[in-house]
Amino acid sequence: MGNMKGMSAVLSILVIDENHIRASIIEAGLREAGHQRVSVVHDVKAVAQRIGEIAPDVIIIDLENPNRDTLEHFFSLSKAVQRPIAMFVDRSDGTMIDKAVQAGVSAYVVDGMKKERIKPIMDMAIARFNAFARLERELEQAKGELEDRKIIEKAKGILMKTRGLSEPEAYQLLRTSAMNRNQRLIDIAQSLITASELLGPNQ
Amino acid sequence: MTATHLTAGFMPLLDAVLLVVAHEKGFAHNEGLALHLVKENSWANIRDRAALGHFDVAQMLAPMPIAASLGLTPLSVPMIAPFVLGLGNNGITVSADLWRQMRDQGAPDTIDPASHGEAFRKVVEASPRKLRFGVVHQTSSHNYELRYWMAASGVRPDRDVEIVVLPPQYLPGALGAGGVDGYCVGEPWNSVGVAGKSGRLLTVKDKIWSMSPDKVVGMRADWAEENPDTVSALIRALYRAGLWASEQAHFDEMAAIMAQPHYLNAPREIVIRALTGRFVLGHGAEAEIDSHFVPSAHNANFPWKSQALWYYSQMVRWGEAPQSPTNADIAAACFRADLYRAALTSLGVNLPEADYKSDDGFFDDVPFDPQKLEAYISSQAD
């Protein structure tokens, strides 16, 4: 029965992700790929109430979610789900599973689902999880760089004021000190600010 | 000599302490290991990432390698456990409301599981709704011990109550919010529930099954086969960490290390309760529990094959594993007493000669004799 349904009917896909933005990105990807029955749940607790109505063929969940144990136990109770649900389609497809876990995503599918039907869904989810992680990293980096720039500006300001240097001279002094000590420019700038604060406003 | 890099997954639970001590106090380093500890947030992730090789080794619930080897879990690959991370450390905590009802049914001020069990049975019989209990994972020592305690007290866990799975760190919150009426979990999450959610710590693992294993170091069987020297080095490092962790003089330092955000992220004064055994039970009661958590003494780290069989017997009992002589063999083979001995012989450690022993430390006085496994399983059938 599961086989027949898996072959013909429209797939019902459930996305469980506490991260609302990422969930929307996955949902959009699934809809773009032509999947119409996509449900998104942010809280695992809500799965219990909605699983009957959703009757998912595929469940996509992020690995940061500490509730995977809860979810799996829930699947194992035959009362909650009529059709048995396994993790991934085929245990032998190690590469896909590995890629998915690396990307931070896992999938559960109903028994009897064909590998060809799940693969494009997983490929999309993996790609979007990776893209999301990259964006997050870039955002972090950009934040960090902005922060660094502010610190260096402040350090330059201190040097200009206390030593009467021009801006290029102040910057050059910071750079030379960093190179001579084999330290990063940002660390030298930070030390200078700390020292200046310790010595007080009159300095 | 370059150090061998070893990635180890762990959960924020006190009995990750030997892995942490091996890393923080240099025992791993002394064995030529560069131990890289990765904190995980679910047992499912530990299981999957160990299976996929993202972790070389991991802190695991004692039944996990057995369940994986028996093919009971997703991504099942044969796993072994050559080292036990300590005895005890679980506890059962109930909500303030359930505790009041148990008090009315004669529950004592102590941590005696038999008298609490009797009061609990009376509450369950009188309760208009099914009480709900939380455990951390299906194939967990917690699940089997909670069920053992209930069943021996006349409560049928699958019919009279509901048992749900929640991550350890979420259980105190669920107790406070009324999501669960009680739970079985490792420290510090009982003490956190007592301190923050007015729970009552009823009893501990050592009172239900004395001197029993809770967590192990698990790893893929083929990986262990390919890296025998690394496995030996890890066993020695963890063994030495266990000796260090047993000394009272180190409890303060250990609690301070474990309390840190990247380990337990819990208050130091709560973490230390499980180390000293001086527990606040809640609702005015306190207890000194001698062997709540045993990191080294009593051959605590020795992987008794008979104890793997006990966990297997409970998997059969609760309908998770089919009963067969082959499955019993698979279960026993997961606990690698041979690797433990091979690693520690050179240290002159006093090692058990047998791989199997009878356990008579169960609170209901029913002994477990591994030679009478089938009779034991039959005696527990409904």
ipTM reported for the complex, 2 dp: 0.80
Do B75 and B178 belong to one domain?
A: no
Strand order in the sheet with A58-62: A37-41, A12-16, A58-62, A105-110, A85-87
Q: B206 and B188: one domain? A: yes
Q: How far apart are CA B219 and CA A20, in angstroms?
A: 35
* Cβ contacts of A84 on chain B, cutoff 8 Å: none
Which residue bears the tokens 């477990």? B368
Q: What sign has the CA pseudo-torsion A101, A106, A111, A113?
A: negative
Give the span between the Cα atoms of B86 and B243, in whole angstroms: 11
Nearest-by-Cβ selection for A86 from B74, B137, B167: B74
Place of tokens 């045993």: B294
- Tell me, yes or no, if B132 comes closer than 8 A to chain A by beta carbon: no
Instruction: Give the domain-ending residue among B181, B196, B211.
Output: B211
Nearest to B219 by CA among B79, B9, B83: B79
As a whole number of angstroms, the distance between CA B133 and CA B119 comes to 16
Q: How far apart are CA B154 and CA B129, in angstroms?
A: 17
Statement to judge: residues B246 and B136 lie in one domain: no
Closest chain A CA to residue B135: A70
Q: B175: Cβ–Cβ under 8 A, 6 or more apart, which residues?
A: B93, B95, B134, B181, B182, B183, B193, B197, B199
Instruction: Work out whether strand B131-135 and strand B161-165 pair parallel, antiparallel, or are unpaired.
Output: parallel
CA distance A73 to chain B (A): 6
Tell me: do B234 and B354 sit in the same domain.
yes
Q: In chain A, what residues touch B54 (CB-CB under 8 Å)?
A: 101-102
- Residue A72 to residue B165, Cβ atoms within 8 A: yes
Tell me whether residues B165 and A69 touch, CB distance under 8 A. yes
Name every chain B residue with its beta carbon within 8 A of the beta carbon of A94. Answer: 52
Q: State which H helix or E strand residue B87 sits in.
A: strand B87-88
Q: A89 to chain B: which residues are within 8 Å by CB?
A: none
CB contact under 8 A, B42 and A66: yes
Answer whether A76 sits within 8 Å of B138, measured CB to CB. yes
**Cβ neighbours of A74 in B, within 8 Å:** 165
A72 interaction partners in chain B (CB closer than 8 Å)? 44, 74, 138, 165
Number of domains in chain B: 2
The DSSP bridge partners found for residue B61 are B215
Amino acid making up residue B232: S
Do B223 and B361 lie in one domain? The reply is yes
Residue A14 pairs in a beta bridge with: A39, A59
Asked if B77 and B226 sit in the same domain, the reply is yes
Q: Name the residue among A74, A76, A101 with its Cβ closest to that of B54.
A: A101
Is residue B288 in a domain? Answer: no
Q: What's the pLDDT at B133?
A: 96
| Nearest-angstrom CA–CA distance, B134 and B179 | 9
**B197 and B245 assigned to the same domain:** no
Strands B131-135 and B182-186: parallel
Helix (H, G, I), strand (E, B) or coil at B137: coil
> Concatenated DSSP letters for B188-253?
THHHHHHHHH--EEEEEHHHHBTT-B-EEEEEEHHHHHH-HHHHHHHHHHHHHHHHHHH-GGGHHH
- CB of A95 within 8 Å of any CB in chain B? no
Query: Closest-CA residue in chain A for B42?
Result: A66
**One domain for residues B134 and B199:** yes
CA distance B307 to B185: 20
pLDDT, one tens digit per residue, over B200-228 is 999 999 999 999 999 999 999 999 999 99
For position B69, which CATH number holds?
3.40.190.10
Q: Are residues B165 and B229 both part of a single domain?
A: no
DSSP state string for A124-153: HHHHHHHHHHHHHHHHHHHHHHHHHHHHHH
Specify the pLDDT at position A2: 40
Q: Which residues of B touch A73 (CB under 8 A)?
A: 137-138, 164-165
Give the 3-state secondary structure of residue A67. coil
Domain assignment present for B289? no
Question: Within an 8 Å CB–CB cutoff, is residue A76 touching chain B?
Answer: yes
Specify whether B303 is located in the same domain as B166: no
Q: Identity (one letter) of the amino acid at A77?
A: L
H-type alpha helices, A35-77: 44-54, 68-76
Q: Is the residue at B284 inside a domain?
A: no
Q: Are A51 and A77 in contact (CB under 8 A)?
A: no
Q: State the residue range of the domain holding B26.
A: 4-87+213-260+295-380
What residues contact B26, with CB distance under 8 A and at least 6 apart? Answer: none
Whether the CB of A73 is below 8 Å from some CB of chain B: the reply is yes
Q: How many CB pairs below 8 A link A and B? A: 59
Residue B228 counted as domain residue: yes
Residue from the list A68, A76, A101 with its beta carbon closest to the beta carbon of B42: A68
Provide the pLDDT for residue B131: 96
Q: Which CATH architecture has domain A2-137?
A: 3-Layer(aba) Sandwich (3.40)
Query: Which residue out of A16, A69, A74, A108 would a mutagenesis test of the B interface target, given it has the greatest number of B Cβ atoms within 10 Å?
Result: A69
pLDDT in tens, chain A (203 residues): 344 444 447 889 999 998 999 999 999 999 999 999 999 999 887 887 788 788 888 999 998 888 888 888 877 765 555 566 666 655 666 788 888 888 889 888 887 778 788 888 988 999 999 989 888 888 888 888 888 999 999 999 999 999 999 999 999 999 999 988 888 899 999 999 988 888 876 44
Give domain status of residue B63, yes or no: yes
Query: Does B43 contact A106 at a Cβ distance shorter than 8 Å?
Result: no
Q: Does A68 touch chain B (CB under 8 A)?
A: yes
- What is the spatial distance between Cα A106 and Cα A103, in angstroms, rounded to a whole number? 9
Residue B65 lies in a domain: yes
Please check whether residue B287 lies inside any domain of the structure.
no
pLDDT less than 70: residues of chain B: 1
* Inter-chain touch B165–A66, beta carbons under 8 Å: no
List, as ranges, residues 1-60 from A with C-beta within 8 Å of B: none
Domain boundaries, chain A: 2-137, 138-199
Let me know whether B174 and B94 are in one domain: yes
Residue B265 lies in a domain: no
Q: For domain A138-199, give the CATH number.
A: 1.10.10.10
Mutation to test the B interface, candidates A68, A71, A79, A110, most B Cβ within 10 Å: A68
Residues B224, B359, single domain; the answer is yes
Question: B138–A64: do the CB atoms touch at under 8 Å?
Answer: no
- Residue A199: its H or E element: helix A185-199
